[in-house]
Amino acid sequence: MRWLTVWIASAVGLAVVTHLHLGVQAVSAESIIVAALVLGLVNTIIRPVVKLLTLPINLLTFGLFGLVINALMLWLVSAVVPGFMVHGFGAAFWGALILSIVSGVVGWVIKYG
């Protein structure tokens, strides 16, 4: 059941990010839903490997390099999902940052609300 909560929170977060006009766009609600699903898969499979490979950089930056990793994962999702576009690394960075905040709040509200 936790995966459903995370998926819903990610979908809501992606919807918010696409509506803020930060350079992240989606052509339909379906593309947002698919992007949330693919983002969940990417974060489950690829992100741990990338975090392990970048552990020294992460330690030197006190974990702030994790924001760059989140941006790269969002950018990767845009390359895979048709109808979901991220225009540049800056858009991916700010989109991932806002996505993390919104997803965290939505997940908390679903869990405790």
This prediction has a pTM of 0.90
**What's the rounded Cα separation, in Å, for the pair 10 and 99?**
7
What does the pLDDT profile of the chain (113 residues) look like in tens digits? 778 888 888 999 999 999 998 899 999 999 999 999 999 999 999 999 999 999 999 999 999 999 999 999 999 999 999 999 999 999 999 999 999 999 989 888 988 86
**What's the rounded Cα separation, in Å, for the pair 64 and 15?**
25
Range of the domain at 36: 2-112
DSSP string, 55-75: HHHHHHTTTTHHHHHHHHHHH
Count of structural domains, the chain: 1
